A and B are shown apart, each in its own frame.
Chain A
Amino acid sequence: MSAPLILALATLLLAIVSGVARLGRIPAALIAGLGSLALGAVSLLAPLDVPLQVGGLAIKLDPSLEILGRSLELAPGIRSGVGFIFVIGGYLFLGAMVADPGRYFLPMGILAVGLLAASLMVRPFLYSAVLVMLAAAAFVLVLASPDRHAERAALRLLAFAAFGMMMTLVAAWMIDRLGVTTGSPERAGSVIPVLALGLAVLLFVPPFHLWLPPGADRAHPYALAAVAALMQAAGLFLALRVLDSFAWVRADAGVRLGMTAAGILMIVLGGIWALAQVRLARAFVYVLLIDLGIGMLALGSGTAIGYQLAMGMSAARMVGLGAWGLGATLLAAGMGSDERHVLKGSGFTLPIPAVLSVAGLLSVAGFPLTAGFPGKWGLTAHLLREGSAAWWWVPAGVVLGVVAGLQWLSVIFGGGARTEPRPELTPLARSLGIGGVAIVILLGLFPQVAYPLIIGVISGLQALFA
């Protein structure tokens, strides 16, 4: 039996089952979430190429699957990445028990998670661009649910993904034909810009972040958070695999400089825009842009520790995104909108969603004692040790993001208690909300518990650590 085939069939089955309307929101989210977590466990732990006895039946899991001359391979180097994608999916799908992000969130979300996982397994791996494009197509249905008019954001994401796919495929062909090596910088010079454009789409480097603001205006906050979380995780893995696979990319000083410059650009633009928003969702997407920019600085450091920190920050981002998505959903649903004047004093009306959304926002910004802080602290220290002139952009980005977060804290908990009746939260929403805040703070207080595990996800990319 082929492990990728099992993963593909199970993903398809989960998508179909969770899409059955009669199932109800909570059972469907439970099936999708737990199923995705189970697939993550299979990807991480299943013994491959070893004969097993299951109920008297001898089976052996083959790590590869051949399709039309190309293969999907659950290779040791990427199986933790595949598992990570499924685990993020599971975490986000469980939140749908409360968030209710639309009818197509679960089936299309699972399908997209499966496609992103497959994009890590496909050989040659630059073909993954097509699978990422198909995942973006599935995300169109997640973002533009029938009751929301987020098609503008969804179509921008689709268009960017399509052009990113074209660039990556052309780059793959050029790499294959040109025979680029570290000894042929002139050939590398013609491939790298094409490849960089393809990857920039997935890493939301401006202007490819332009689907986020209209998404913040129209899409369901939880759906937006989930799509952003999954797409950037896939983008980060693809970027790390490119760095792992091609020594000439790692060796190119221009690549590191480009990543650092892109990171600084994201911090500056995100910082300016985050401070000038009148909607919580818009402020959040720009704080996210700052966070992604800091992640780019980690990649641009060109060191093993930098790559590990980029991975660690990506996982912390998931925690913040999930918390913010759930909190913002409950807050906007309870108050009727996420605009500044509507949210004034809403923290007294809906304290748990308010604290959850602000905690998520501050975590993504890198506020001390939240999940997002240790990675950024570690990166600042690392860049200082390396003598990088870009080190101070990390605290600058954190300050910009935190100021935006505190601005919203003062809006939400400012202006005194409101007189209107307090909307009731279900016990499940209350417990998920409290749990979300607890995770954000616990991971900030005890990063040593989770960081080694997260960093281990990319330990299979051995060339990065050679």
Chain B
Amino acid sequence: MGDGLGGNGGGAAGRGGPMTTVPALLEIVLAAAACVAGVLLLTASDRRVVLAGLGCAFIACSALLIGQVPFVVSLALMTSGLAATAILFLSTSAAAWPWSSAGAGALPEGRPFRLVLTAFIVVAVVGLSQGVNLPGRTVPQPILATAMGLIGLGALQLGLSERSLRVCIGLLTALAGFETLYFILEPALAIVALLGSVNVVVALIASYLLLVVRPAPPADGPA
């Protein structure tokens, strides 16, 4: 945590308004919670665990933003993320949950394999985020690590499976990470609203593919 990256008040000070920041210890706890949620999204196969993980990731990310951006921005991230989770919950209630505990349907999808890859990603992003110095803006290191970790885990999810729901959840994971970082850099309401709508649209697409388009037959290659 060098070069002032550990500071909490950069954004608040930059915007000239007194904002309550998240204490440093809590910041670390929230970052860890977001990353654990991201790991669960990648490794769990139980519906409740996966969706709870997604909801937790968005809640932790928006909590991390408190004090860094206007409160409404943090609230918007949480609202859109929870709306996306709710859409996925409702649609997976109506359709069969497509992941069996055996985890079939993806190229190397065994849980140990995923855990090893996840560990690689987490270690890599925590290491890389130490050296990242964004121009003109101080971003606390836990937030940077969370954002990059979620983007990495989301990308990994996309790379490991072509199952519709997994792809959409991977995208939402990556979007949660990206939005956490980007809203600190650019907390403009228009972009917050647009990116919030992207979360909801991705969840709606997952629902459409789950409920309207039935899963592709095996001839489609690895699902």
Q: Could you tell me how many residues of chain A have their Cβ less than 8 Å away from some Cβ of chain B?
A: 35
Q: A140-B205, A152-B221, A155-B162 are in contact. Are A133 and B186 (CB under 8 A)?
A: no
| Interchain CB contact (< 8 A) of B164 among A68, A155, A170 | A155
Verify A169–B220 contact, CB threshold 8 A.
Answer: no
Q: A68-B189, A68-B190, A130-B195 are in contact. Are A162 and B209 (CB under 8 A)?
A: no
| Interchain CB contact (< 8 A) of A162 among B171, B185, B197, B216 | B171
Verify A70–B190 contact, CB threshold 8 A.
Answer: yes
| Interchain CB contact (< 8 A) of A127 among B171, B194, B216, B217 | B194
Interface residue? A276 (CB, 8 A): no
Q: Could you tell me how many residues of chain B have their Cβ less than 8 Å away from some Cβ of chain A?
A: 38
With a 10 A CB-CB cut-off, give which of A69, A145, A151, A166 has the most chain B CB atoms: A151
Contacts of B208 in A (CB 8 A): 140-141
Interface residue? B89 (CB, 8 A): no
Interface residue? B193 (CB, 8 A): yes
Verify A134–B188 contact, CB threshold 8 A.
Answer: no
Contacts of A151 in B (CB 8 A): 164, 209, 213, 216
Verify A127–B191 contact, CB threshold 8 A.
Answer: yes
Closest to A174 in B: B135
- The smallest C-beta distance from A169 to any residue of chain B, in angstroms, reads 6
- The smallest C-beta distance from A107 to any residue of chain B, in angstroms, reads 13
Verify B185–A127 contact, CB threshold 8 A.
Answer: no
Chain B interface secondary structure, helix, strand, loop or mixed? helix
Contacts of A154 in B (CB 8 A): 209
Interface residue? B112 (CB, 8 A): no
Interface residue? B167 (CB, 8 A): yes
With a 10 A CB-CB cut-off, give which of A145, A159, A177 has the most chain B CB atoms: A159
Contacts of A155 in B (CB 8 A): 162, 164, 167-168, 209
Bitwise interface map of B from 199 to 223 toward A, beta carbon under 8 Å scored 1, else 0: 0011001001100110011001100
Q: Chain A residues in contact with chain B, CB under 8 A?
A: 67-70, 127, 130-131, 133-134, 137, 140-141, 144-146, 148-149, 151-152, 154-155, 158-159, 162-163, 165-166, 169-170, 173-174, 177-178, 214, 218
Q: Chain B residues in contact with chain A, CB under 8 A?
A: 135-137, 151, 155, 158, 162, 164, 167-168, 170-171, 174-175, 178, 182, 185-186, 188-191, 193-195, 197-198, 201-202, 205, 208-209, 212-213, 216-217, 220-221
Task: Pick 13 A–B contacts, CB within 8 A, sort by A.
Answer: A127-B190, A137-B201, A137-B205, A140-B208, A148-B213, A149-B220, A152-B220, A158-B205, A159-B167, A163-B155, A169-B186, A177-B135, A218-B216
